Structure 1
Amino acid sequence: MSLTRRHLSLLGRGLGALVIVTCVSLTIAVIAAGVLGATALLVVGTGLALLSALFSPVLEGTWIVNFWDLPPTTVVAAAIGIGFVALPVVYLRPVRAEIRAFEQAIAGPGTPADDRHPELAAANRKLAAQAGIPEPDLRIVNRRRPESYAIGGRTGGTIVLTRGLIRELDDEQRVAVLAHEVAHLANDDSRFMRRLLVPLLVAERIEADERPTLNRVHGLSPISHGGRLLAWGVLTAVTTGQERLCELGIGLFSRGREFAADRTAAELTGSPGALASALETLDDSRGPPTQDKREYARSTSTLDILPPAKRSRSRFVRTHPETARRIERLKTMAETAKETRTAS
């Protein structure tokens, strides 16, 4: 496949993923904003009704007394407007903070490759120059499980290799894996995936919210509880389907980017067989993660070179192609390159 056709294929997958996730994001935003706003209006309106009942002679003719007489369209518009103001505070900011904390947790404890592995640092500089991007920060993390990650974009990117990966692979295989991660940065995959993950993690956060419990502390607690229960019920009901659609969009793009990164890595190193061999070795040595399940959230699987040990329930939502398919493609590339050299 030519470079132009490859870029068009990757662009098509990216646009498809973007359309799916954008539609889902808008749906989540409108529903969540409406429910949050309606809950706020319910609590405020009930409070105003109590004030009107207690101080009706004083408040007669004011907007406080006439609040519940507002047209339905005005109430709906107000609810959605209030919800859109509250939505970033309630969900978007925590999710973005979660992604930042996750990325810092991956790379933060690592040491610069120059300290212990100058040969990898030199390979990193060479591969980045070949790919036409600034040299990314290469860090070695002290974890036993063999893993590699690319975080950031074409500029200011970070590549993380674990000591487990370095122990499992030989020099040529390490460079091949490093080239794969450089390819992700060159394609700006991680930055794009970061954007795609936001609506998915918002849906996860909404779905994970516990059922509100009644706490009789204030006089309006039963009313407040009813509003919170309504909001929880509606949001929980819609997030499951929205979450699956987000997974579909992310999987659609992510699988394509893995194939593209494999091919680019093979071109950068000139050795498709080295990456195929590395994938085989890692696939045989990888077990399930020993850390807490939340530490290996979906965001982790989109960044790693291999899929998680526990396979996804459907091939349509997997973030990685089957490793055997990737190895087969790389071996085919190696055979084609060998035949070309022989013919010339």
Structure 2
Amino acid sequence: MGYVRTALLMAAMTALFMGIGYLLAGSGGMLIALVMAGGMNALTWWKSDQMVLRMHNAQPVAPNDRAGLSDLVAGLARNAGLPMPAVYVIDTDQPNAFATGRNPQNAAVAVTTGLMRSLSREELAGVIAHELAHIRNHDTAIMTVTATFAGAITMLANFALFFGGRRDEGPGIAGTLALMILAPMAAGLVQMAISRTREYSADKAGAEICGQPLWLASALERIQAGAAQIDNDAAERNPATAHMFIINPLHAHARHSLFATHPSTENRVAALRRMAAGSSRAARAPAPVQAVRKAQKGPWG
């Protein structure tokens, strides 16, 4: 079902892209947009993960790194029944994280240096487990596709708005201007809906992977507090990727509303606490976290 949803999403984004091309240059513009969209679909499917990682200047983490981050991810990936994803670090003070990749066999988890400094090992395990849940649920393909297409649609719409299109034909100037404004909003709404509906599911699955819902609940509260105060310059330059992060990296103070890129952090934490209260799991730390506790002290605690 993950691949079907991704295909439907790519088709919808392609149609929106072609609509803007038609307004820019008529049938010829629509054909050019179709060719461009086809190329973007192929590029997005095969290379969008690397594109997003480059946008945020993510650097790969070597296996058996001194901090123990790679070992932590490997242990949690085993818990999740996943192959080992690539691990990246983003040099920014804002605590945050995201996962990307077209499938579990070609996936990556990226965490910020601010996240590693501000969270305990247990909280970090909860965050990584959440990102692994996105990979297992095939959310990363959908989220990465929307990030790439939303950015392209916004760019093309802005070009049409400022440099003109077929405003004297077809729907007329009012209709053209309306679509130029509404197209990026529509792409943004798709991003928001995708992110919001998947975060709760990834929270639940992530809590099950790490075995402790309260670890993730505590991490979400810390990340929310940090993200609201600390800039993430790369995310501000690439707002179309905001929905990929575990907490909105932009200073939008996400609310539980139609235009929020993420569900309310308070609601997510409350759901995790209810999950913890009803859980019969033992309080003993799972093996991946135990292994990291034995490793040499890393940069996050």
Common fold, TM-score beyond 0.5? Answer: yes
CA offsets 1:235-256 (integer angstroms, 9 cap, x no match): 5431322322332232222112
Percent identity of the aligned residues?
A: 23
CA offsets 1:129-152 (integer angstroms, 9 cap, x no match): 222221001122322111111011
User: Do residues 297 (structure 1) and 239 (structure 2) align?
Assistant: yes
Normalised to the residue count of structure 1, the TM-score between the two structures is 0.67
- Corresponding position of 2:23: 35
- Contact 2:119–2:222 (CA<8 Å) still a contact in 1? yes
- CA apart distance, 1:122: 1.8
Unaligned runs of 5+ in 2: 284-301
- CA apart distance, 1:113: 6.0
User: Do residues 317 (structure 1) and 267 (structure 2) align?
Assistant: no
**SS of alignment partner, residue 243 of structure 2:** helix
User: Do residues 208 (structure 1) and 150 (structure 2) align?
Assistant: no
- CA apart distance, 1:327: 0.4
Give the aligned residue type for 1:334.
Answer: A
CA offsets 1:141-200 (integer angstroms, 9 cap, x no match): 322111111011311211111111111011111111111111111111111122333442
- Corresponding position of 1:165: 115
Normalised to the residue count of structure 2, the TM-score between the two structures is 0.75
**SS of alignment partner, residue 279 of structure 2:** helix
Which structure has more RCO (C-alpha within 8 Å, separation ≥ 6)? 2
CA offsets 1:246-287 (integer angstroms, 9 cap, x no match): 322322221121111111111011100111111112222222
- Corresponding position of 1:26: 15
User: What is the rounded CA distance, in whole Å, between the counterparts of 2:224 and 2:120 in structure 1?
Assistant: 15
- Corresponding position of 1:245: 186
Shift in CA distance, 178/312, structure 1 to aligned 2, threshold 3 Å:
closer
User: Do residues 129 (structure 1) and 78 (structure 2) align?
Assistant: yes
- CA apart distance, 1:318: 1.9
Shift in CA distance, 159/293, structure 1 to aligned 2, threshold 3 Å:
closer
Shift in CA distance, 102/19, structure 1 to aligned 2, threshold 3 Å:
closer
- Corresponding position of 1:276: 217
- CA apart distance, 1:109: 3.0
**SS of alignment partner, residue 89 of structure 2:** strand
User: What is the rounded CA distance, in whole Å, between the counterparts of 1:249 and 1:102 in structure 2?
Assistant: 18
User: What is the rounded CA distance, in whole Å, between the counterparts of 1:313 and 1:268 in structure 2?
Assistant: 27
**SS of alignment partner, residue 155 of structure 1:** helix
Give the aligned residue type for 1:337.
Answer: S
Query: How many residues of Structure 1 are paired with residues of Structure 2 in the alignment?
Result: 271
RMSD: 3.5
Shift in CA distance, 312/281, structure 1 to aligned 2, threshold 3 Å:
closer
Residues 134-145 of structure 1 correspond to what in structure 2 (within 5 A)?
134-145=83-94
- CA apart distance, 1:111: 3.4
Larger Rg: 1
Give the aligned residue type for 1:26.
Answer: A
CA offsets 1:270-321 (integer angstroms, 9 cap, x no match): 100111111112222222425267524121x111111233135871132211
- Contact 1:112–1:137 (CA<8 Å) still a contact in 2? no
- CA apart distance, 1:331: 0.6
CA offsets 1:93-113 (integer angstroms, 9 cap, x no match): 579689553332335434336
- Contact 1:150–1:181 (CA<8 Å) still a contact in 2? yes
